[in-house]
Structure 1
Amino acid sequence: MFKTVLFPVDQSRESREAADVVVNIVQKYGSRLVLLSVLEPAAEEEASSSEDAMKSHEAIAQLLATAQTIFSQQGIQAETREETGKPAFAICDVADEIDADLIIMGTRGMGLTDEGLADSVTSRVINLSPCPVLVVP
């Protein structure tokens, strides 16, 4: 049913909590797991030197390696991808490229603004995704 699962990771508590759900689904369905981390262009622009930009990429690589190790300890082999761009668009593009059957992601609470419900990466992914999205609160 879920042959390929995409799990966008960041350093948030919500992402760590979603990992338990990822483990359960991937083990139950024997899914291929792809871990994704997205470096936003704004983060690159703020990196005033190539040394700062290198540190950003190293932090992403370390985050992916740590996540890969955590899943490996559960007997799950995970592939990793690092992308640069707007997170919601990058997540959906990668989901399309790898033919993902499911995206699993944590969510931060969406607040209300004068205009209504605040936009979040999660809500944008839900609206743009080429496949179902499981949101873990």
Structure 2
Amino acid sequence: MLNNYKSILVAVDGSKNAELALKHGVAIAKEKNATLYLLSVVDENAISHSSYAFTKVLAEEKEALEKELLKNIYYATEEGLNDVKPIVEIGNPKEMIATIVPENQAIDLIIVGATGKGKIQSSQLGTTTSYVVQSAPCNVLVVKE
């Protein structure tokens, strides 16, 4: 690779492509001795339409993401990566992945899956992945099954 990546962001959502993105992120971070940031975003907009109490659903979703991140951290450390930083955010996943977290953490590579859990909505709204590719301030690696 031409770039000497130091801060790599992998967006994880539990999908198969996100799992592949994680594997690529771990391998690249090991090769470059980089910090690996694992980001899960609670989509505030998606759960705001729930009939349950918003704060209860939000807390449950955040807890589920945190448990999933623990598995990802375990995988990364088992693969020999020492510098892994989990991030769970609440908000718009597109903006969090593409600009907010990369700018706050000085990310120089973002790794995302080609599709995530929201495949049905992608035809209506445009995919998170395409938004990230268009809007990110750094290189983006898109991983496919």
Q: Secondary structure at the match of 2:13?
A: coil
- Could you tell me which residue of structure 1 aligns to residue 70 of structure 2? 65
Is 1:133 the counterpart of 2:137? The answer is no
> Runs of 5+ in structure 1 lacking a partner?
none
TM-score by length of 1: 0.88
Instruction: Give the % identical residues.
Output: 28
Q: Distance in 2 between matches of 1:47 and 1:61?
A: 23
Q: Distance in 1 between matches of 2:46 and 2:71?
A: 21
Taking the TM superposition and a 5 Å limit, the aligned residue runs for 1:1-137 are 1-45=4-48, 46=50, 48-49=52-53, 50-77=55-82, 78-91=84-97, 92-108=99-115, 119-137=126-144
Q: Distance in 2 between matches of 1:43 and 1:59?
A: 15
Structure 2: which amino acid aligns with 1:68?
Answer: I
TM-score by length of 2: 0.83
> Runs of 5+ in structure 2 lacking a partner?
none
Q: Distance in 2 between matches of 1:95 and 1:47?
A: 33
User: Contact (CA 8 Å) 2:42, 2:58: kept in 1 or not?
Assistant: no
Q: Secondary structure at the match of 2:107?
A: coil
Q: Distance in 2 between matches of 1:121 and 1:47?
A: 25
Q: Distance in 2 between matches of 1:132 and 1:53?
A: 31
C-alpha RMSD of the superposition:
2.2
User: Contact (CA 8 Å) 1:47, 1:53: kept in 2 or not?
Assistant: no
Q: Secondary structure at the match of 2:79?
A: coil
Higher mean Cα deviation, 48-57 or 22-31?
A: 48-57
- Aligned residues between the structures: 134
Q: Secondary structure at the match of 1:108?
A: coil
Q: Distance in 1 between matches of 2:39 and 2:91?
A: 12
Q: Secondary structure at the match of 1:34?
A: strand
Q: Distance in 2 between matches of 1:22 and 1:121?
A: 18
